[in-house]
């Protein structure tokens, strides 16, 4: 659901011919979750011309070191799915890599080829912000979205470290808190009523800028959004509470929260501009 909502945003950037740069960073507590999302992005974005990539500890340095079958330029989603079926039938344990994917570090930092969507984990993101050779990955980054999956794992000291990491990344990209939509998702929030306050402290945003998309089903996912980060709800129906507009179900609900947050951000920026003039 989050991937589809972000996909709609980066499609807009593509259609507007925006300069290359990371628009969304999706952070996971472990590589297995990031790899699962990578598979979904491959299926979702093949044929769109929207670049994406995963940067974790095992990401190859050079393009020549990438293991997998690269699809040719102009490959469609159908081409990708056909390649996946063929590789499975041949029992070849390699991935089909669409032309939109940047599977190596060198490809991710190359001018004009930087990914719009970056998948990583908490520890790797810390390294990316520490090592000078990786800073160029964020050149031109707009950081419109920052997503943390399994947010319940970031509690106590880990939560404090993640909160600092969020602020450091925004600072590196030159973004104010109201200019980045932060999304925290979890399926196991013990006390959903405390979610907005936890999200406010985590993201450094006022309480009134937090939106919650609340699911009805017990097994549905929840997400908290700060000035655009919303509690990721599952496919089950639910209500939107906070400053977001009530919209449909599933991805539509989160999309409505994101749209509301983006409008709030534009108002804040235009108001700030008037105040400075």
Is 256 inside any structural domain?
yes
Residue range of the domain that includes 51: 2-59+104-276
Q: How far is CA 174 from the centre of its chain?
A: 18
Is 96 inside any structural domain?
no
Number of domains observed in the structure of the chain: 1
Query: For 55-82, what is each residue's pLDDT tens digit?
Result: 999 999 999 999 999 999 999 999 999 9
Q: Which residues contact 149 (CB under 8 A, 6 or more apart)?
A: 26, 27, 28, 29, 33, 37, 185
In whole angstroms, how far apart are CA 141 and each of 20, 33, 62, 63, 115?
8, 24, 22, 22, 9
Query: For 208-248, what is each residue's pLDDT tens digit?
Result: 444 554 444 443 344 444 333 333 333 222 222 233 332 23
What's the DSSP call for residue 118?
A: E
Query: For 101-157, what is each residue's pLDDT tens digit?
Result: 999 999 999 988 999 999 999 889 999 998 888 888 999 999 999 988 877 776 677
Q: What is the CATH number of the domain that holds 238?
A: 3.40.50
CA distance 189 to 215: 12
Is 221 inside any structural domain?
yes
Tell me which residue has tokens 């003039």.
Answer: 277
Encoded tokens for 268: 């804040």
Is 94 inside any structural domain?
no
Query: For 249-267, what is each residue's pLDDT tens digit?
Result: 333 444 444 455 555 555 5
Is 75 inside any structural domain?
no
């Amino acid at each position: 659901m989050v991937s589809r909502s972000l996909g709609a945003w980066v499609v807009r950037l593509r259609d507007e011919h925006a300069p290359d740069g990371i628009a969304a960073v999706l952070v996971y507590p472990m590589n297995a979750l990031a790899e699962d999302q990578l598979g979904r992005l491959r299926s979702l974005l093949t044929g769109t011309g929207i670049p994406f990539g995963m940067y974790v500890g095992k990401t190859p340095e050079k393009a020549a070191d990438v293991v997998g079958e690269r699809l040719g330029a102009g490959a469609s989603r159908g081409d990708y799915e056909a390649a996946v079926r063929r590789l499975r039938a041949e029992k070849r344990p390699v991935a089909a890599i669409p032309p939109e994917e940047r599977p190596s570090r060198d490809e991710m930092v190359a001018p004009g080829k930087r990914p719009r969507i970056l998948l990583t984990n908490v520890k790797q993101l810390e390294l990316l912000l520490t090592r000078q050779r990786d800073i160029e990955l964020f050149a031109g980054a707009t950081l419109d979205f920052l997503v943390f999956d399994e947010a319940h794992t970031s509690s106590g000291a880990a939560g404090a470290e993640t909160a600092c990491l969020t602020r450091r990344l925004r600072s590196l990209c030159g973004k104010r808190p109201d200019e980045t939509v932060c999304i925290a998702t979890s399926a196991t929030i013990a006390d959903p009523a405390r979610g907005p306050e936890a999200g406010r402290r985590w993201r450094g945003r006022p309480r009134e800028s937090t939106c919650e998309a609340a699911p009805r089903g017990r097994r549905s996912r929840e997400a908290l959004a700060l000035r655009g980060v919303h509690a990721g709800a599952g496919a089950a129906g639910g209500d939107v509470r906070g400053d977001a507009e009530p919209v449909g179900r599933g991805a539509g609900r989160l999309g409505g929260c994101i749209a509301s947050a983006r409008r709030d951000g534009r108002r804040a920026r235009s108001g700030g501009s008037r105040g400075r003039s």
